[in-house]
Structure 1
Amino acid sequence: MTTQFWKKSRKINVTLTNLLHLVFSKITGFCQPSFFMDQSWWLSRKRLLQSLCLISFVAVLLLHTSAPIVAQLPPQPRQEIRGVWLSGNDFSVFRNRSKVQAAMSQLRQLNFNTVYPVVWNDGYTHYPSAIMQKMGIPFFFKGIDGQDVIADIISQARSQGLLAIPWFEFGFMVPLTSELASQHPDWLTQKQDGTQTSISAAGEVAWLNPFHPEVQKLITELVMEVITRYNADGIQLDDHTSLPVDFGYDKYTINLYTQETGNPPPPNPQAQAWKKWRADKITAFMVDLYQTVKAQKPNAIFSISPVDSDYAYKVQMQDWLNWVRLGIVDELVMQVYRNDLDSFIGQITRPEILETQKIIPTGIGILAGLRNRPVSLSQIQPQVQAAQQRGLGIGFFYYESLWDIAPEEVAQRQSAFAALFKKPALRDISQNTPRQPTFDTISLPLYPKPSLGKRVRGYFLEVAVANGQPKRILLDTGSAGLRVPKEFLGNAPIRRTGQNIKEVLSDGTILEGELVYTNVRFGLLPATEPVPIQVVTSRQCTPQKPKCSAKSGVPFSGIIGVNYFEKSLPYNPLRKLPGNLSNGFIVTVNGGNNKNGSLILGLTAENQAGFKTASWSQQSEISGVPGNRWDSRLSKVCLTIAGSAAKNSCNSRMIVDTATINGLAEFKTAATAGKLKPGVLSSANAVKIAINGVFDYNLTPGTREGFNRWSLSVSPQAELPIFVNSGIAFFDKYDVLFDPVNGKQGFRSL
């Protein structure tokens, strides 16, 4: 009986709550002065309306606080995009302050909520840029009173409750005749035949090299100048933040590709690996740009306006769907300029649109007309309705074609647009909070060669530190913490601690350097927050191992230690991956020498199939180390070495270590080793390592490129009676899984 009463009570309260919320929303709509055209009428009734607003608010508040069970309101829908681009064609209108004011007022009355004023095209800024001024590039776009037109648009838009998101229209595209192209010919890229231009909607254009650090620096500085100068609500990058697939055969890019891959670019620009390498470089730049913008203004909207993802990737190497999945896009407005309605609907129901609109505000760019190509309402209206029926927002290209350049009369056009957006839908950037990537799992490539020096065997992960150039750093499953030379650091902010730390590697190398915090990108994937890093400034050998790697003359190429047996800071940086990607990883190296492998981030039911697991021991917490900490040296490991007393001794501990070329067995006493003497084992000393029911590994020691060498040592000061480091050869026969949530390690035979 009581339960039934509370259920009925809850239903009544939900109904009343919804009713009062409806009343409240209607009344508060009248509480906005912009609702009324007659301001004197508003002032005379202001007190009465304020009282009604207060009564409505109190009624809702009392109902919520007195209800036995508080009814939860449904989550707010994503903010609907109702935008218009203010293009270079509109500049004659917006040079006039009074016309800017009238335009923003008109858009607000017609229930638009966003404007995208162009700030970058043709190699010039539409605002007085200090950066371009330093480069000696002229500025042409003052208002008729000498005013900053972009400042005026943003100010007037805000006064009407519109978002103003400056639009970097040309991206990496630039006219060959512009001052920028003339001053910096080395910043331009080219086709294989040396051609520097292509034909676009803007005519014949050249392309700034998106892989060149000076080009990336320029675009980043211009974006940040707009964000800081105008406190803009965000920025938008369109389909020209890309590169036509035929380009990339300039000297700088050829050298970079050859350095990173060991081969020159293939003559076929459509070759998959070559195209992906270039697309990934553009994506990496976008990740860095996003992080830079968010560091300055966390709730700024990072907007993109591309074309469909198939064309964007295949023709322009713009992998924008991956940008969305990486969590670096806050808003999408996909350009769909079609005359035929069926073709239009086919575009707005593409899988990438259906996926994206579940994650972020998503709109469709609709052509309202061009100077030489007016578009009728009979084409515009059904396209808008088709988008709205599918929960999509709208962006019109461009302002002047809304009604000034059109086949219908101005009044008819404005009346029609008023009917398209019948109710206000204001936007608020305070709700634009950073989000996590939508990947449950992602695979990053592991390379057999480092960025610096040489190494017989190893697997290297591409890592960018402090927005520096990506470097291939040794993946070490046997240690914890990211350690890099200072040369690897970029120009992003770094928090210094002043704490000098020391790490002793298994080969006797001592690494010393300061502990700092800064952003890190693993492949294309950024960490969620700054990561602790040892910036190595000194390398030397221990007295016991005077021939360590520090004496080899090989430059230090960095180490990314991903073990969970952390003794102090820094800790495994993979702990700072977003969402499910931080719950563990799998190392798979495709079973062979000099082959690429994979680091699979994020454990799922699917990618754990076929693994047999062994447990780790829980360790006490360390201040500053997030998550669970484990002793990931496996227990109850059976070790047999032919010719020794260590036959089927199952009291060994073991670690699997990608950073150790040679396998190693360490005995606390000589008696345990039997007749074997410390040193390199021969082929007669076959090694077997096993955990019952989990894995059964064997190896014949040899010298094949050093990878299957096996050493034995006797160390009375050793912590454990028998300790085994299986070395990198183990990964030629097993995929290895690390599960820090459940404290397990998995093995899957190849």
Structure 2
Amino acid sequence: MGKIIKNLKWLTIAIVVCLLVVATHHAPSRSPVVKEKMQGIWLTNVATAFLHHTTFLDEILHQLSLSGYDRIYFSVYGLKGTLYPTSRSYTHFLLRPPLTNPLKAAAQESRRQGLKPYAWFEYGMMLNPGNAIVQEHPDWLLKTAEGETVEDGNVWLDPADPEVQEYILGHIDDILKIKDLAGIQLDDHWSVPKAFGSSARRQALTSFTQKVYSHIKAKNPQMVVSVSPNPYNFAVSKYNQDWLWWVEQGIVDEIVLQVYRPTPEAVIASLSNSGIYTASYYVPVGVGLSAVWNVVPFSLNTVEKQVEAVKQQGYGYSIFSWEYLVLRRFAQFF
């Protein structure tokens, strides 16, 4: 029995030492990555939190930098809360335990690896129906002519409501406290479904976007305001997101057009009349590509073909998302 206890003691010591080595090890730093065309990747909030809590974040960012990526879009505002401290909404403790700031750590480590970190404001004007804000402020929600508040499985905030604006701008202020960030990205959820109205809702969203842009620039003129919308006609007709007008009016600094299609041919076909060509005259642009399950066969090669197709069109790109690229890499061994 004494021998077993002694062996367990040494095993415990060995495990503790290994954990300490992992926790204190830092990947070597890299010089800033300079690209003529953007080469980005999205990380979900769950992935970022997991990598942060397990201390692997620096290694992953180091590898992404070595692979030629120049920017990372970290989901910081989504289903389970935020990756930054805030008093404005609830955050699941597994996503951001007390006294932690995964976004700050991600931004600092990104800079150390020569990458541009963006705070991806993923949920935008959208909320899960179970969100506490929905219960506390039902008057903030948009309603259809029939009085319904749920559309596409979610509820949507009214961009014209002063309290909604204060709520969103408060979150943005919390994000802007992170000094190492290169930009803030709004995406296709920064929108208002047509079920809630058209022209008036479109104008309200545009006006609020202008306000957000001015607010960000007043706090940090160097902060890039990025938008990742759907192709223009779809974005306007279905979600009142007049992003090409925003570009032309100078209230957007970057466009990453979401073209999530199953094949390279479908991606290229969707770029036609998507608005990206016009936008490229005003701001840097890139094409958002999907690496999720419906892009088959499920291999890295499938995504690489889409990347090459986009590059041949003269555009940069960003891939959704890092987790699926990892799964695709593992899939090649099975």
2:281 partner SS = coil
The correspondence for 2:210, drawn from 283, 287, 299, is 287
Q: 118, 122, 128: which one pairs with 1:169?
A: 122
Determine if the alignment matches structure 1 residue 225 to structure 2 residue 174.
yes
Q: Which residue of 2 aligns with 1:339?
A: 262
**Larger helix proportion, structure 1 or 2?**
2
CA drift of 1:370 comes to: 4.5
Distance 1:108 1:328 in 2: 29
Q: How far is 1:80 from its partner?
A: 1.8
Deviations 1:408-464 (A, max 9, x none): 448x9xxxxxxxxxxxxxxxxxxxxxxxxxxxxxxxxxxxxxxxxxxxxxxxxxxxx
Query: How far is 1:145 from its partner?
Result: 9.4
Following the alignment from structure 1 to structure 2, what is the Cα–Cα distance between the partners of residues 372 and 143? 31
Partner of 1:108: 65
Among candidates 294, 308, 312, match of residue 389 of structure 1: 312
Which of 127, 132, 136 is the equivalent residue of 1:183?
136
Aligned residues: 305
Q: Which runs of 5+ in 2 are unaligned?
A: 1-27
1:115, 1:378 → 2: CA distance? 21
Q: After TM superposition, give the deviation of residue 168 of structure 1 in Å.
A: 0.5
Q: What is the identity percentage for the equivalent residue pairs of Structure 1 and Structure 2?
A: 29
| 8 Å Cα contact 2:248/2:282 also seen in 1 | no
Say which SS state the counterpart of residue 210 (structure 1) adopts.
Answer: coil
The offset of 1:227, in angstroms, is: 1.2
State the 1:353 CA deviation: 1.1
> 2:252 aligned with 1:325, yes or no?
no
1:205 counterpart (151, 154, 174):
154
Matched, 1:122 2:122: no
- Give the letter for the 1:157 counterpart: S
Question: Normalising by the residue count of structure 2, what TM-score does the alignment of the two structures yield?
Answer: 0.84
**Which one-letter code corresponds to 1:281 in the other structure?**
A
- Give the Cα–Cα distance (whole angstroms) in 1 for the partners of residues 295 and 280 of structure 2: 33
- How far 1:196 sits from its partner (Å)? 1.1
2:275 is paired with a residue whose SS is: helix
Q: Is residue 239–residue 306 contact of structure 1 (8 Å, CA) maintained in 2? A: yes
TM norm structure 1: 0.39
Q: Which residue of 2 aligns with 1:80?
A: 37
- For 2:99 and 2:44, the matched residues in 1 are separated by 19
Instruction: Report the equivalent of 2:226.
Output: 303
Deviation readout 1:525-573 (Å, 9 max, x if unpaired): xxxxxxxxxxxxxxxxxxxxxxxxxxxxxxxxxxxxxxxxxxxxxxxxx
1:216 and 2:165 aligned: yes
- Corresponding residue SS for 1:364: strand
Change (3 A) 1:99 1:384: same
- Which one-letter code corresponds to 2:57 in the other structure? V
* Aligned amino acid, residue 84 of structure 1: I
Retained in 2: the 8 A contact 1:366–1:395?
Answer: yes
Distance 1:79 1:216, change over 3 A: farther
Contact 2:43-2:74 at 8 Å conserved across structures:
yes
Distance in 1 between residues matched to 2:286 and 2:100, nearest whole Å: 32
Q: Which runs of 5+ in 1 are unaligned?
A: 1-31, 36-76, 248-268, 270-274, 413-750
- Describe the SS at the equivalent of 2:85: coil
Query: Is 1:152 the counterpart of 2:105 in the alignment?
Result: yes
- Please report how far the alpha carbon of residue 298 of structure 1 lies from its aligned counterpart in structure 2 after TM superposition: 0.7
Q: Does 2:191 correspond to 1:242? A: yes
Q: Is the 8 A contact 1:94 1:143 kept in 2?
A: no
1:4 aligned partner: none
Q: Is the 8 A contact 1:172 1:241 kept in 2?
A: yes
The answer to whether the 8 A contact 1:365-1:397 is kept is yes
> Which residue of structure 2 lines up, in the alignment, with residue 312 of structure 1?
235
Once the two structures are TM-superposed, the CA of residue 372 in structure 1 deviates from its matched residue by 11
Per the alignment, do residues 351 and 398 of structure 1 end up closer, same or farther by CA in structure 2, a change over 3 Å counting? closer
Secondary structure of 2:245's aligned partner: helix
Cα distance, 1:379 vs. partner?
A: 2.3
Residue identity matched to 1:87: T
CA distance in 2, matches of 1:227, 1:347: 34
CA gap 1:159/1:80 in 2 versus in 1, 3 angstroms: same
Aligned to 2:184, what secondary structure does the other structure show?
strand
- CA–CA distance in structure 2, aligned partners of residues 33 and 282 of structure 1: 41
**Secondary structure of the equivalent of 1:90?**
helix
Partners of 1:33 and 1:207 lie apart in 2 by 42
Q: Distance in 2 between matches of 1:323 and 1:348?
A: 19
Matches of 1:138 and 1:106, distance apart in 2: 29
User: 2:21 — aligned with what?
Assistant: none
Displacement of 1:208 after TM fit? Answer: 1.2
CA deviation vs aligned residue, 1:701-727 (integer Å, no higher than 9, x gap): xxxxxxxxxxxxxxxxxxxxxxxxxxx
Distance 1:371 1:160, change over 3 A: farther
Aligned partner of residue 327 in structure 2, secondary structure: coil
1:404 aligns to 2:320 (yes or no): no
**Deviation (angstroms), 1:185:** 0.7
- State the distance in 1 between where 2:328 and 2:50 align: 13
Q: Residue type of the partner of 1:289?
A: V
Amino acid at match of 1:168: F
Cα contact 2:227–2:255 (8 A) shared by 1: yes
Which runs of structure 2 are paired with 1:683-702 in the superposition (5 Å)? Answer: none
- Sort the Cα spacing of 1:283 and 1:79 in 2 relative to 1 into closer, same or farther, 3 A: farther
Q: Secondary structure at the match of 1:235?
A: strand
Tell me, yes or no, if the aligned pair for 2:232 and 2:274 is still in contact at 8 Å: no
Higher strand share: 1
Q: CA deviation at 1:158?
A: 0.7
CA spacing shift, 1:141–1:359, aligned 2, 3 Å: farther
Question: For residues 180 and 214 of structure 1, what CA distance do their matches in structure 2 show?
Answer: 12
Answer whether contact 2:262 2:294 (CA < 8 A) is retained. no
Aligned-partner SS, 1:394: strand
- Helix, strand or coil for the counterpart of 2:172? helix
Q: In 2, distance between residues paired with 1:404 and 1:90?
A: 13
**Aligned match of 2:18:** none
Letter in 2 for 1:246: A
Cα shift at 1:400 = 1.0
